[in-house]
Amino acid sequence: MSEPQQLPAFDEYVVARSAALLRFAFVLTGDAHLAEDLLQGALLKAHRNWQRVAATDHPDAYVRRIVVNDHLSDSRRRRVLESLTAVLPDRLAAGAGGDPAAQVGERDELSRALETLPGKQRAVLVLRHYAGYDDEAIAETLGCSVGAVRVNASRGAARMRALLRPRDAFPATTGDER
């Protein structure tokens, strides 16, 4: 009777491989802090499935794949925020700068504006700007024509611009001006 194969302990794996995995994450992201965060999340996911991960021939490949997938997901989230904030009025965007409170306010304003859109317009904008889908993929996902996707995108973007327009863009009139 053969003894069961002993799997390497997770903590031993982390001690032995974390420096190399961190270098990989850093090269992928170009940002030390982001690399640390990605690796920490990837190791947490690997720990949850350690029996399966350790049983593979290449646990590093499994962890690197998690790092890459998480990085791509984070990049998509950042890209949609950047594309949606592009429709923010200059006054709001200029005021945000590096102020985290202002950024949270912008995100909140975007979320509230998106919530006011009809479902189809919201879905089209999110699929286009967040998921990165092209018009054909959106049409297939939503079960509509490409033309309907374009109409909903146009109307949704126009509504977002109107909702996010600076309040002082149209000063109140007293009724005397004609």
- Asked whether residue 46 is domain-assigned, the answer is yes
Domain end call among 24, 51, 78: 78
What does the block give as tokens for 160? 């977002």
Does residue 61 sit in the same domain as residue 100? Answer: no
pLDDT tens string 65-85: 898 888 878 877 776 666 665
Domain end call among 45, 78, 111: 78
What does the block give as tokens for 54? 């350790």
Please determine, for residue 134, whether its predicted confidence score (pLDDT) is greater than 60. Answer: yes
- Asked whether residue 1 is domain-assigned, the answer is no
Distance, CA of 109 to CA of 102 (rounded, Å): 10
Query: Nearest Cα to 35, choosing from 64, 14, 76, 10?
Result: 64
Does residue 92 sit in the same domain as residue 69? Answer: no
Q: What is the CATH number of the domain that holds 142?
A: 1.10.10.10
pLDDT tens string 154-175: 999 999 888 887 654 444 445 4
Q: What is the pTM of this model?
A: 0.46
CB 160 within 8 A of CB 122: no
What does the block give as tokens for 95? 């005021």
| HEC readout, 53-79 | HHHCCCHHHHHHHHHHHHHHHHHHHHH
Distance, CA of 106 to CA of 175 (rounded, Å): 33
Does residue 45 sit in the same domain as residue 73? Answer: yes
Does residue 149 sit in the same domain as residue 113? Answer: yes
Domain that holds residue 57: 10-78
- Asked whether residue 114 is domain-assigned, the answer is yes
